[in-house]
Structure 1
Amino acid sequence: MRTIRQAGSAELVEKKSRFLCVLQRVDSESRAREFVARCRKEHPDARHHCYAYVVGDHAEVQKSNDDGEPSGTAGMPILRVLHRNELTNTVAVVVRYFGGVLLGSGGLIRAYGTATGRALEEVGLARREPARVVSVAVDHSTAGRLDNELRATGYEPSDTRYGSFVEFDVPVAEPDIGAFEHWLTETAGGDARVSRGNRIFVEVAE
């Protein structure tokens, strides 16, 4: 699955109607609904606030809404674009300012889909890959050097704890865990204590 790299927007003008697509990353359906409500408040003069969202590690939650447009001409085209790009944890709201010219069902479907596609091009996409949080505990005398080595090789710790030992939580893509643990053994001289934690998802820019 993928998600958007950042929030953003893009617009399309079709026969005097303005279609503004606004994208946001979300981690729950309630956050998606909050974003839709915020868009309504920020664009109170718009005729329609059509939307679609996909949420969950496996895209479990999906919804679309035509908000007064003819059935199937707005929310579903937005959702299809999200599906086509294999997106999750993403909400798209297309705000339409009516220009006085009717577009017909085909024209609406193209406009809503095109506006969403343009916005996705603006914000960029990131792949979501399964990973594990690998916890690495070392002596204080080794911690500074290991911290530098981790960051230099792209293994950015997500958390660091100081106690009897220094513990680094490092997200590692699942296919790379074996190689990472071997690298740790060589880098820390066998002094690192390693444990595998929760399964998460990490994002890789495309």
Structure 2
Amino acid sequence: MLILDDILTDRGSRYAVSGGPCRSTAEARAFVDELRRTKKFAKATHNSWGLISSAEGPMKNDDGESGAGMVILRMLERAGLADHIVVVTRWYGGKHLGGDRFRHVQTAVRAYLEAIGGKGA
């Protein structure tokens, strides 16, 4: 599991991104559960994720951050990254970000892709 903490901050909201090998819905749930075992991530407002599974196809979970899972999924598709989960975590800062939140999800995923070797970054 690779975790990139404090990717960006905007109007009090903070973002992190994490990911690792993952091939199924069950593995995705286990990955997010493992991430949430850390107190900091357990207190996060959203842990949105995307995964393109060779066996089960594309999967996503917005975790209350409507549309975030689809943004992650599109970026994984463009990067050609399968069997790998990417989770974007947000700690809500008290002010609505509107459409900027999608740009922040993209920034976080881009940082993750660069960290694992530039795939589609």
Does TM, scored on the shorter chain, surpass 0.5? yes
CA distance in 1, matches of 2:25, 2:117: 22
What letter corresponds to residue 101 of structure 2 in structure 1? Answer: L
What is the aligned-residue identity percentage?
Answer: 37
What letter corresponds to residue 13 of structure 1 in structure 2? Answer: T
Report the more deviating stretch, 22-31 or 88-97: 22-31
- Equivalent pairs, count: 115
What letter corresponds to residue 88 of structure 1 in structure 2? Answer: A
CA distance in 1, matches of 2:43, 2:96: 18
The TM-score normalised by the length of structure 2 is 0.84
CA distance in 1, matches of 2:43, 2:107: 22
Q: Tell which has more relative contact order, 1 or 2 (C-alpha 8 A, sep 6+).
A: 2
Q: Quick check: 1:27 aligned with 2:23? A: yes
Q: Quick check: 1:116 aligned with 2:83? A: no
3-state SS in 1 of match to 2:42:
coil
CA distance in 2, matches of 1:47, 1:76: 18
Alignment of 1:82-101 (within 5 A): 82-101=76-95
Q: Residue by residue, what CA displacement relative to the aligned partner does 1:145-187 show, whole Å, maximum 9, x if unpaired?
A: xxxxxxxxxxxxxxxxxxxxxxxxxxxxxxxxxxxxxxxxxxx
CA distance in 2, matches of 1:26, 1:109: 24
Corresponding residue number in structure 2 for 1:81: 75
Corresponding residue number in structure 2 for 1:40: 36
CA RMSD in angstroms comes to: 1.8
* Structure 1 alignment gaps of length 5 or more: 1-6, 127-206
Which one has the bigger strand percentage?
A: 1
CA distance in 1, matches of 2:118, 2:104: 21
Structure showing greater Rg: 1
* Structure 2 alignment gaps of length 5 or more: none
The TM-score normalised by the length of structure 1 is 0.51
CA distance in 2, matches of 1:116, 1:56: 20
